[in-house]
Every structure is written in C-alpha cells, then in structure tokens.
Amino acid sequence: MSQVFSRDGVRRLRTPWILLAASIAAAVVLIGGTQVYLQKEQRDARGSEGRLQQARTRVDNIRKERDNLEESAAIYRSLLARGLMQPERRLDVVELMNALRTQHRIFSVDYEMSPQRALTLAGGNAFPSVDILASRVTLRLRALHEGDVLGFIQAVGQSGQGFHPVDRCLMKRIDSAAASEALQPRVEAECGLEWITMKDKRGA
Amino acid sequence: MATHHLYLTNSVLVSLLARRGSITRREFAVDDAGVGEFEAYLRTVARIPARLHVDLSEEDFRADMIPHVGRGDREVIIGRKLGQIYRNAPFRHAIVQGRESEGRRDDRVLYAAITSAEVLKPWLDAIERVEAPLEGMHSAPLLGARLLEALGINHPHTLLVHFSPGEALRQTYFRGTELRLTRLTHIDLNEGQTPGALLAEETTRTWQYLDNLRSFGADDRLEVVILAHPRDHPAIGPSLEGFTQLGYHLLDTDQVSGKIGLKPPARGPGAEELLVHLLDRKPPENHYATPEMRRFATLRSARNAIVTGAIGMLVVGIVGGVLTLARIMTTSERDQQTEREVMDLNRQYDQVRRSMPTYDVAGAAMRDAVGFYGGFIQGFPSMAQFAIPLSAALEAHPAVRLNQLAWQATDDAKAMPALTPQPSRVPPPAKAFARGAEAAVRSPAGEDLSSQPFASGRYEVALVEALVTSPAHDFRGAIAEVEKLAEDIGRIKGYRADVVESPLDLRSSLQLQGRNADREPAQMDARFLLRVVRTRGTT
C-alpha cells in the first residue's frame, strides 16, 4: 500500500486519481443539483397545493354563500311579506286582540304595550345592518278553560303580521268558590311577549 | 480475464498465456538470446498480470520444528531461522505445514529458498524493464500438494513424479499432505534404457533414500503417482513393477486435465500446465517475490480499484440523478395538473360570482334580518307545544289537580319562573317550614321584563303548582304520587322534572308541625311544586 502512496505510485496513478475525483465531483453535482431542483419543484408543488386548497375553499364558500343567499332571499321575502321591515303598527295590535278574543271565547283581555325600544339580545348577539326594535306587550286573560287560553296565546304568537314571540306566561285557576256559577271564568293568565319589527340602518 | 504464467526451469522458460479460453505456449531458452526474445515478447503482453513459477535445481527445502507460539512470535522465529539457514538467499519462504501430535506439539515448518539468485536475475530484470505486473513468484514443488488435493489422492506416503520442461524429472515426497522432500533430476537416458526403466530406477532410489532416513514404518508403503502424457504410457507402464513397500500409479494427463477442468488438455509431457491451471482456480500466496518486485502489480490493482471506484461513483451519480429527475418530472407534472385545477376552480368561482342573485335591499341587511330570524324567531318555543305533553302526563294521575303553571322561554337552564303560591282549601294536617323562608319561589310582581335581554328560547322552564288528593295523614302515598308524576314527566323526550316542594318536606333542617283531632276530613289536599325543563333540539 505504501507503494501506492509513494512518489512514483502517486505519479503513475495520477490519471486514475483525477478520474476518481472527477467522478465524485460529477456524482455530487448530479445528485446535489437534481436534489436542489427537486426541492424547488416540491416547494412550488406545495405552493400550488396551497393555492388549490384556497381556490377550493373560495369556490365552496361562494357556493355556500350563493345557496345561503338564495335561501336567505326566500326567507327574507317571507319576512317582508309579514311586514317585519315596516314600522310598528299599533292599531294592528288592538284589532288582533279584539279578533282573537272573540275567536277563542275569552271572557276578557287586558293588554299593555310599552314604548318601543331597541331589543337587547341574549348572548351579546348583534346585527349591525338592521335595528331590531320591540315593544313589550303584557296580556291578562280570563277564560273558561285552559285550552282557550293556550289557543289564544298560540294564535298571538303565530299572527301573520310581524313577530310576537310569547316568552313567559303564568296560568292559574280562579278560586273555585268564586267560579262555582256557570259560565264564569275559571282560568286566568298573565303572559308577556315582544312585538318585534326591524329597520334597515341604511334606510334610516 | 487473461492470465500469464511463466514456468522457469534450469533450461527453459515456458510462457503460458491463457486468454479467451485458449492457452498460448511459448518457450524461451535459458541464455541471453532467450532472455532477449522473452523481453520482446513480454512487451506485447506487458499489461497482463504475470506469475512466475520456479522449478529449479537451485531451490532448497528444509523441514524443521519450532515451538508453537503466537502468530507474531512465530513470524519472528521463522524470519530468524530463514536468515540463519539461507543467509545469502534473497528469495526465501517458509510454510507451517502442521503440528506434532505428541510432546511439545511443535509446529512443523518447511523452509524453502532459491540458493542462487543469479539464475533468476536476467528474467526478473527483463520483467522489471518491461514494467510487467508481477503478481507473485511461486515454488512449483510446493504446488504439488494442490494437485494431490485436486485429484483426491491422500495416501500416508506419496511420491508425486512428473516431468518438467527441459528434460527434467521432479519427484516430491509427501507425508500425508505435507511436503518432506523434493528432487529434480535431469533425464539422461542410457543407451537402450526406456523412460519407464529410468523412472523405476529413480523412484526406487528415492524410496531407498527415504527408507534410510527412517521415513517409513514396518508396514508403510510408498505410493508413487506418476503424471505422464498418454503417448508416453507405453514406454513407461511396462517397466513399473512395484513391490510390497512401493506401488505405482500411472496417471494420464488427459484424464487429470479433465478432472481439474483444464481445457484443452495439457499438450506437453510436463505437468506445468496442470499446476498453473490449479493456480488460476485459487491463486496461492506469494512465495518468493519481494514487494518491490510486485510493485507494478500492486499499482495495477490500485489503478483498477480506483477506476472501478470512479466508475461506481459515476454510476451512483447518474442513477441518483436519473431517479431524482424522475421524481422532479412527477412532481412537475403534478404541479402543472394542480395549476390547471386552480385555474379551473378560479373559472368556477367567477361563474358562481356572476350567477349570484342581486336584490333590491342590501345583502348585509338581508343576511342580518334572516340571521336574526333563524337564530331567535324561527325555533322560538310556544307554551301550547310545551303544555300538551305535560297535560297528557297529568291525565295519568287523577289524584293530582293543577293549580297554576308559570312558563318561561329562556337561554338560562337554571332560570326559575315567578309564581305566587296558592294555599290548599283542605290543608294537610302536617306541614314543614323553615323559619323566615316560607316560600321557595318568587312572586311575579314588580319584574321589569323590558330591560332583560331577549332570549332565543333554548330552554323552556315551568313551575307547576298542583294539589294531590289523598287520605288524611297518608303523606307517604302523596309523596309517592308526586314522585311518580315527576318520573312520568321525565320520561317524555326532552323533559326533566324535579320536585321543588314536596307534599311534606321531610328535611331534618326544617320545622315540622302537625295536628291530630277526632273530627277531621277524611281526605287532604297536599300542595306540591314541580320544576319542569324542556331543552330545544332534544324533542
């Protein structure tokens, strides 16, 4: 082995050594160069994958938005038909109470409507494009049967004009001694509801 | 791969060049002209590695025994012995052939040397001048053991006899597989003497010599194995008559060639082609060549290794590059496909955006209005829907009569509706109460509901105040009836009922009052309070 690395050995093996060095260099350049290029391609591919994902998300979102918009439009048209975006019409309340009292055989209906206010929503929910307004309505009913009371309240809640969700109600029997005579009210109820309307802020 | 064997005897040097399945044989006389011809010839095949085999009368062998020691020490001992025995011989070698079975169990060593280096000098000078790669210089007699091994000959005492180039006869005596003695005799036939007679005479003489050295036991027999060309057999065979202590085995060199795989079979009368063929199958260790003599072979091996390494590196680089290139192309193709998909999705996006409906009212207001409707109004509960299943449960308990129901839609699962307790007209004869805490519920009076946030009605909470009619003092039955009612309400999907106030509160922390008298009503109406909760989305 010492002959290989002697002066004469090195001289005689100069060409093979140069060939080996050149081969190593070529191998390093070939592998290293292609690896670098591969990494660049992979980076580009990852970037493309990211853009593809974003494009998919964008298309999905706009499709959902379109679907939501179409669905919302249908709902919104029904809301408009119920007069939700119109100013509060208190005369409708008076007429509604009168009509439902007769319809559900209620002995008496007393109601109070508070001044209209901006409705505070539970959970801190807010809708920045519309003003949600409500008037608190308190009803006091006297009826022969609990079913009449429930029917009346149900009818108020489902009234075709505006939205009036009944959110609390206390229903109790009237003392039997006082209710012994025929056709006397046996049930009385006190219920609360919100008379809700909306206003587009842009139109304000 | 080509191999070049040089077989040197005292009168001739035989060149055997094996290349592409054929052997080229050239002979050069041992004189100045022969050396000159050899050098000229060697220049034409100087790139082929060569091995020099010496079959000379100047080669001396001596058997010896040395203590069995470690490898390093053994080499020192052998080196010293060689120096002592062959002080002036530059070409010397030692082989450890075996070990004694008795006594100190010494190692049996055979020393070999070429006692006159002058015989070799012209040839070695020619090789040096040509710079031919000399891989080794080997002793031909020492290779005889390989021939016996290849032929499967394993007698206790064997005398291998073969002809050498230049009219010589080589006799090598093996005890088992160990070389003990070798003789080279010039063939000089007397008038009328046949080769067979000469062989018989020489081998008998060798046997007598060995016998004088007490090499044999009383029953031992020397097996003489003679290698000869088939055409010489008629002149040899008839003269070989063995006796009790000596037996002859005449081997056909054609058959031996076939047995060891030499093609074509050996042509000459000598055994040199057979011996060198065995070396090609398994190259032996170098016997006599110094590192300096072998330097061109060493450099050639190094050159081959370096070039092989270079080619290997280049192949690795190319293969690695090609594999990576394939991955690059795959990645690039996938990338282009991804880009096409992105462009396609962008087109879809534009199409969907263009097809989006437009409305008179701003989209934000519409979204908010619909959002409020969906979140708060659409699923808002109604008391009637709450009361219907509750009413069905109460019908199954005729002893229970509803007094009042306070219902509330809320987002607070712990909410408690306001209710003013109504006392029973036929109160029970016993009741429990806490000092200063008569009622467990709040009165509805005075609540300002307009300031409270509007809930989406996720929960419906109701307080049910009712009376249970039971025989006087049957509190156990009344309590059981109320608990059964709460259980029945709890079975309705989405409902949960808890007894807030029992017909008779039995907690030890409360004060209990009772009354027993002769004239008492047969029945009592015990008041109780249930809290019923329904959760939206579970019904």
ipTM of model:
0.72
First to last CA, chain B: 92
Cis amide linkage into residue B90, ω under 30° from 0: no
Torsion-angle region of A133 (φ positive above 0: left; ψ -120 to 50: alpha; else: beta): beta
Q: Residue B445 above 50 pLDDT?
A: no
Residues B317, A41: C-beta atoms closer than 8 Å: no
Q: Do B370 and A72 touch (CB under 8 A)?
A: yes
**Per-residue pLDDT at B214 exceeds 80:** yes
Interface size between A and B, measured as CB pairs under 8 A? 261
Which amino acid is present at B188? D
B299 vs A: CB within 8 A? yes
Residue A125 half-sphere exposure, CB side, CA atoms within 13 Å? 21
pLDDT > 60? residue B444:
no
* Closest residue of chain A to B456, computed from CA coordinates: A122
Helix (H, G, I), strand (E, B) or coil at B501: strand
Q: Is B346 close to A55, i.e. CB distance below 8 A?
A: yes
From the list B33, B176, B160, B163, the residue with the least C-alpha distance to B100 is B176
Q: Provide the pLDDT confidence category of residue B447 given band limits of 50, 70 and 90.
A: low
- Residue A59 with chain B: CB contacts under 8 Å: 345, 348-349, 352
Q: Which residues make beta-bridge pairs with B524?
A: B470
A114/B324 Cβ within 8 A: no
Q: Which of B324, B346, B402 sits opposite A35 (nearest CB)?
A: B324
| Per-residue pLDDT at B102 exceeds 90 | no
Q: What is the mean predicted confidence (pLDDT) over A110-127? A: 88
Q: Do residue A76 and residue B453 have CB atoms under 8 angstroms apart?
A: no
- The answer to whether B311 contacts chain A (CB < 8 Å) is yes
Mark yes or no for CB contact A130/B348 under 8 Å: no
pLDDT at B348: 93
Give the rounded distance of the alpha carbon of B395 from its chain centre: 79
Q: What is the mean pLDDT of residues B1-26?
A: 87
**Bridge partners (DSSP) listed for residue B528:** B466
pLDDT at B505 over 50: yes
User: Quick check: A121 pLDDT over 80?
Assistant: yes
Residues 6+ apart with CB under 8 A from B147: B160, B227, B260, B271, B274, B275, B278
Confidence band (pLDDT; 50, 70, 90) for B538?
Answer: low
Q: How far apart are CA B398 and CA B276, in angstroms?
A: 123
Report the candidate in B157, B136, B150, B298 with the shortest Cα–Cα distance to residue B225: B157
What's the confidence (pLDDT) of residue B437?
47
Is residue B56 pLDDT above 70, yes or no?
A: yes
Which residue of chain A comes nearest to B365, CA vs CA? A129
pLDDT tens, position by position, A12-55: 899 999 999 999 999 999 999 999 999 999 999 999 999 999 99
- Can you give the pLDDT at residue A179? 47
Most A-contacting residue of B315, B334, B344, B376 (CB-CB within 10 A), to test interface = B376
Residues of B in contact with A85 (CB under 8 A): 361, 369
Residue B539 pLDDT class (50, 70, 90 cuts): low
Share of chain B above pLDDT 70, in %: 95
The mean per-residue pLDDT over the stretch B23-28 comes to 88
| Cα within 13 Å of Cα(B436), Cβ side | 0
Cβ contacts of B383 on chain A, cutoff 8 Å: 150, 153-154, 166, 169, 191
Distances, alpha carbon B202 to alpha carbons B90, B157, B189, B193, in Å = 31, 17, 12, 13
* B317 chain-A contacts, CB cut-off 8 A: 23, 26-31
d(CA B9, CA B184): 10
B 413-452 residues with CB below 8 A of A?
Answer: 417-419, 422, 425, 444, 449-452
User: How close, in Å, is residue B308 to chain A by CA atoms?
Assistant: 9
| Stretch B328-332: mean pLDDT | 93
Q: What is the pLDDT of residue A199?
A: 86
- Asked if pLDDT for residue B48 goes beyond 70, the answer is yes
What confidence score (pLDDT) does residue B442 get? 53
Those of residues 22-41 in B touching chain A at CB distance below 8 A are none
Contact B383 A119 (CB under 8 A): no
- At residue B188, does pLDDT exceed 80? yes
Lowest mean pLDDT among B205-209, B246-250, B416-420, B441-445: B441-445
A72: pLDDT strictly greater than 90: no
Average pLDDT, chain A: 87
pLDDT for B263 beyond 80 = no
Q: Which residues of B are less than 8 Å from A42 in CB distance?
A: 331
Residue B85's Cβ-side half-sphere holds a number of Cα atoms within 13 Å equal to 21
Buried b (16+ CB within 10 A) or exposed e, B387-406: bebbeebbeebebbebbbbb
Interval B271-282 mean pLDDT: 78
What pLDDT sits at residue B150? Answer: 86
The residue of chain B with its CA nearest to that of A60 is B349
Search chain B and give the residue with CA nearest A120.
Answer: B453
What is the rounded CA–CA span in Å between residue A49 and residue A29?
Answer: 29
Between B506 and B82, residue with greater pLDDT: B82
Residue type, B204: T
Mean pLDDT of B279-291: 83
Q: Tell me the chain B residues in contact with residue A137 when contact means C-beta distances shorter than 8 Å.
A: none
For A69, the closest of B317, B356, B422 (CB atoms) is B356
The average pLDDT across B54-65 equals 91
Report the residue of chain A nearest B346, measured CA to CA.
A55
Q: Rounded mean pLDDT of chain B?
A: 87
Percent above pLDDT 70 for chain A: 94
Average pLDDT of span B392-407: 93
Instruction: Please list every residue in chain B whose beta carbon sits closer than 8 Å to the beta carbon of residue A45.
Output: 331, 334-335, 338
pLDDT at B232 over 90: no
pLDDT of A36: 94
Pick from B309, B369, B405: which is nearest to A76 by CB?
B369
| Three-state SS at B28 | strand
What's the whole-number mean pLDDT along residues B201-212? Answer: 92
CB contact under 8 A, B409 and A136: no
Residue A203 pLDDT > 70, yes or no? Answer: no
The two tokens of residue B449 are 């509901």
Q: Answer yes or no: are the C-beta atoms of B369 and A198 closer than 8 Å.
A: yes
pLDDT band for position B522 (cuts 50, 70, 90):
confident
- Identify the pLDDT of residue B452: 79
B379 has a chain A CB within 8 A of its CB = no
Spatial distance between the Cα atoms of B51 and B293, rounded to a whole number of angstroms = 11
Question: Under a CB-based contact definition with an 8 Å cutoff, are residues B373 and A75 in contact?
Answer: yes
| A64-68 average pLDDT score | 83
Q: How far apart are CA B204 and CA B196, in angstroms?
A: 12
As a 3-state breakdown, chain A gives helix, strand, coil percent values, each rounded to 5, of: 50, 25, 25
Mean pLDDT of B456-475: 91
